[in-house]
Structure 1
Amino acid sequence: MNSSDSEEMLMFSSDSSDEEELLLLLAIEEEQATAACRSRQRGSVPGHAVIDRQHRKGAAKLYNDYFVDNPVHGDVLFRRRFRMTRRLFLRIAATVEQHDAWFRQSRDATGKLGLSPLQKMTAAIRQLAYGVNSDSVD
């Protein structure tokens, strides 16, 4: 039942208890619609879409591809992509993470974890290795 049907029924109803029931039903429908809108909206601006970047999945894939004991991509490909050995990369990453708070993983305004230190270092090192801008290594 939409709101115009409810209003028409309200006009033709002569009994006050029927009117009260209809008003109560209208109020319940409006509250349910408002609650549904609130549950969908998770961003800071009502009506704007929230993009879930799934940083954790990307961090896990990066780690499995390059940094586990038996990585998907071996040492030769790692050296080609980053212009250094994995060991040197990890030493640089640990040192940078200690000295610059931006490279540490933190939570954003919504409470979600941001990029991992390895994701941030990978982007930074690839920019330096290839001499390209940040958009090229997204």
Structure 2
Amino acid sequence: DLAMVLAMHINKKPKHGGSVFGRQKLWRERIDADNRLMMNYFAQIPIYPESYFRRRFRISIKLFKHIAEKLTSHDRVFQQRRNVVGELGHSTFQKVTAALRMLTYGILVDLADDHLAMGESQAIMCVKRFAVGVVQVFDPEYLRAPNAEDASRLLEMNKARGFPGMLGSIDCMHWSWKNCSKAWHGQF
């Protein structure tokens, strides 16, 4: 009987999501990690000032919240929901934070687990859905070719910076770097 049950289980197609037979359940304390994240940056009086958030995330808190709000209304993956046993899942801010940090800094999935209590599959899914969602939500307004109004605004802005006639950014490809380290030698 046991052999037949095991054979049935082995031959069964794997289901999408949920627990995997034989895999250990880790109690990651998602809620505590979410509370820490909220206290660090999003509380009424956060532990870290907004300048730290801007340095660490490369965007303002206002823009972060705007992106999170738009993604939450676009894709239900970014909504905080309960799982089948009633446990509260990761918050919207945890999911967006994991995706942004992995994309911005190329951090490993293990760091998302350490800081945000998020497993590998969840973190990777957040990154994929974040990338697709950002393109779908923001493409019409922000990820498009500049129109005449945009071009004139960019030209004026760059003229004020001392780069008249420049539409994009400078890549500094042809500038010499006198204190260039040996590891980067020849690249600049």
With normalisation by structure 2, the TM-score equals 0.45
| Deviation per residue, 1:69-127 (Å, 9 max, x gap) | 21101111101110011111011110011101100111223221110111101101111
Q: Distance in 2 between the 1:119 and 1:76 partners?
A: 20
Cα deviation, residue 132, structure 1: 3.8
Is the counterpart of residue 123 in structure 1 residue 66 in structure 2? no
Aligned partners of 2:23, 2:106: CA distance in 1, in Å?
35
Partner of 1:61: 36
Larger Rg: 1
Q: 1:96 to 1:46 in 2, by over 3 A?
A: closer
Deviation at 1:48, TM superposition (A): 7.2
Residue 52 of structure 1: CA displacement?
1.9
Residues 122 and 45 (structure 1 numbering): CA distance in 2 closer, same or farther, change over 3 Å?
closer
Question: What displacement does 1:51 show?
Answer: 2.6
- Measured in 1, the distance between the counterparts of 2:101 and 2:21 equals 37
Inter-CA distance 90–46: structure 2 relative to 1 (3 Å threshold): closer
Question: Which 10-residue stretch deviates more, 49-58 or 75-84?
Answer: 49-58
Counterpart Cα distance in 1 of 2:90 and 2:71: 15
Call closer, same or farther: CA 1:59–1:100 in 2, change over 3 Å: same
Separation of aligned partners in 1, 2:111 and 2:63: 23
**Does residue 1:101 correspond to 2:76, yes or no?**
yes
Q: Secondary structure of 1:107's match?
A: coil
**Distance across 2 between alignment mates of 1:102 and 1:66:** 22
Shift of 1:54: 1.5
Distance 1:134 1:101 in 2: 22
Of 20, 37, 46 in structure 2, the residue corresponding to residue 71 of structure 1 is: 46
Alignment RMSD (CA, Å): 2.3
Q: How many residues align?
A: 95
Distance 1:82 1:46, change over 3 A: closer
Question: Could you tell me which residue of structure 2 aligns to residue 92 of structure 1?
Answer: 67
Higher helix share: 1
Structure 1 residue runs without a partner (length 5+): 1-43
Shift in alpha-carbon separation, 1:46–1:124, aligned structure 2, 3 A:
closer
